[in-house]
Amino acid sequence: MPNKKTKIHCNSPNTKKHKKRFLYNEFRPHMFLEGKTPNEVYFKRRAANAKPRIETRPLAKQLTPCAAPRTCIAGRAGAKVKVRLEFLEGRRHLPIIKVERI
């Protein structure tokens, strides 16, 4: 798997702290915010955990009790997916996991 790099631009004198703050606010869901990221709350964006989900189990029902929060399935159940692992600016301690339907 190729090592993809997600780029951010920063004019801050302390870039390392800025990158960690960016990862924390943009990609890390928080229990206190009911699974939303701080940026989703601040910018009033729809939370990623509330969007229709990709369901890989072929016999899954539209609304399953084990998935929280309850959301609809995007497309049909039993989807094949591709999981990509990226790192914020190539830094292995700042991972970003992306899942897409194939």
CA dihedral of residues 6, 98, 80, 50 (deg, nearest 10): -140
Residues 56-94 pLDDT 10s = 888 887 766 666 777 888 888 899 999 999 988 888 888
Residue with tokens 């699974």: 35
The pLDDT mean for the chain works out to: 81
Q: What length is written for the chain?
A: 102
Model's pTM, two decimal places? 0.63
